[in-house]
Structure 1
Amino acid sequence: MASLHPPLCDFGWHAPDFDLPGTDGQRHTLASLRGPKGLVIVFICNHCPFVQAIAARLVRDARDLQAKGIGFAAISSNDVVSYPEDGFVEMGDFARHHGFPFPYLFDEDQSVARAYGAVCTPDFFGFNADLALQYRGRLDDTGRGQPKPDARRELFEAMVQVADTGRGPAEQIASIGCSLKWKV
């Protein structure tokens, strides 16, 4: 299992639109997900040890950001033929098990992952109210280990700044995770 780092933030890049099914039985678009102060899109999957390690903190930060007017959604784009544990039914189980307070969307044809340039799980995209990219960093510095008691909430802090000012921090550290599993 190779770990990858996504590229750093391309400030001002605009979020491509999409229309994807969610594990909640609804279809979701960029417009339906955005909050009045911005939006976080995170590419994840069920089987990734990096995602499994951060799931509880991801839920905590999503709830706290939603309370500040930031929309939040997760997207799984992995090849489910090669990785059946990332299938749509299993996504619903994963979301329920972890108590996701946000939509978990299925990008079966991988077109959304390609449009966003997603490379790993987790891969975070934080947009301002105009849906211009302001954060392409990590949740925190834990990787797939146990969280440190004093770990900074990097995604949360960055998106609070985005909510308050429309701009993300100049200094960002890329996320780390498992490679997206592309169809062959």
Structure 2
Amino acid sequence: MALEKPPVCDFGWTAPTFELPGTDGKTHALETLRGPQGTLLIFICNHCPYVLAVVDRIVRDAKDLQSLGVGVAAICSNDAEAYPADSFDNMARFATEHGFTFPYLHDESQEVARAYGAACTPDFFGFNADLALQYRGRLDASRAEPATGARRDLYEAMSEVAETGRGPAQQIPSMGCSIKWKDTA
């Protein structure tokens, strides 16, 4: 389990387009996922202890952001052959068990993760209505357990993006396990 931190937000960077299969049996394109007030893409997986510690808060914040007009999707890009817990069937179970209100997409080729520069799970990419990057920070200030009164960094940042089109200037990177890349040899 390699610990990774993604780079800071590259404000204005445009979201690369993609089409990926979802655990809901549909194929989803970036254009159909985007919300009128912004779009949040979350790179996660099923087995990462960092994701497991915060998945219920991710679902809570996603639902709250969807009510503000932010489109949300999660993407699993891990090598499912080397990490069977991240297989498509297990992704479907994971989404159901945790009550996902958003599509959970399978990036089997890992092309989407590479195009986005995803570094860890969880890794959050928050875009404004024009699909310009405005947030690449953490979920919140707590780790495994919610700290009393912990600031909801992701929710507050994406609420600001939904309202103004701009994310906060100060962002604290997410932290998690590295993406499990396929061997290229």
TM-score using structure 1 length: 0.98
Equivalence for 1:56: 56
Equivalence for 1:177: 176
Equivalence for 1:92: 92
User: Structure 1 stretch 134-143 or stretch 9-18: which is displaced more?
Assistant: 134-143
Partner Cα separation in structure 2 for residue 152 and residue 29 of structure 1: 32
- Residue 141 of structure 1 deviates from its aligned partner by 1.6
Partner Cα separation in structure 2 for residue 4 and residue 141 of structure 1: 17
TM-score using structure 2 length: 0.98
Partner Cα separation in structure 2 for residue 9 and residue 24 of structure 1: 30
SS at match of 1:7: coil
SS at match of 2:50: helix
SS at match of 1:157: helix
Q: CA RMSD in A?
A: 0.5
1:23 aligned to 2:35? no
- Unaligned 5+ segments in structure 1 are none
Equivalence for 1:151: 150
Partner Cα separation in structure 1 for residue 34 and residue 160 of structure 2: 17
Percent of counterpart pairs with the same letter?
A: 66
Question: What aligned pairs does 1:1-184 form with structure 2 within 5 A after superposition?
Answer: 1-143=1-143, 145-184=144-183
Partner Cα separation in structure 2 for residue 66 and residue 94 of structure 1: 20
- Unaligned 5+ segments in structure 2 are none
- Residue 2 of structure 1 deviates from its aligned partner by 2.1
- Residue 168 of structure 1 deviates from its aligned partner by 0.2
**Amino acid paired to 1:38:** G
Per-residue CA deviation, residues 132-179 of structure 1 (Å, 9 max, x unaligned), is 000000100223x21112111100000010011100000000000000
Partner Cα separation in structure 2 for residue 127 and residue 2 of structure 1: 27
Partner Cα separation in structure 2 for residue 5 and residue 24 of structure 1: 30
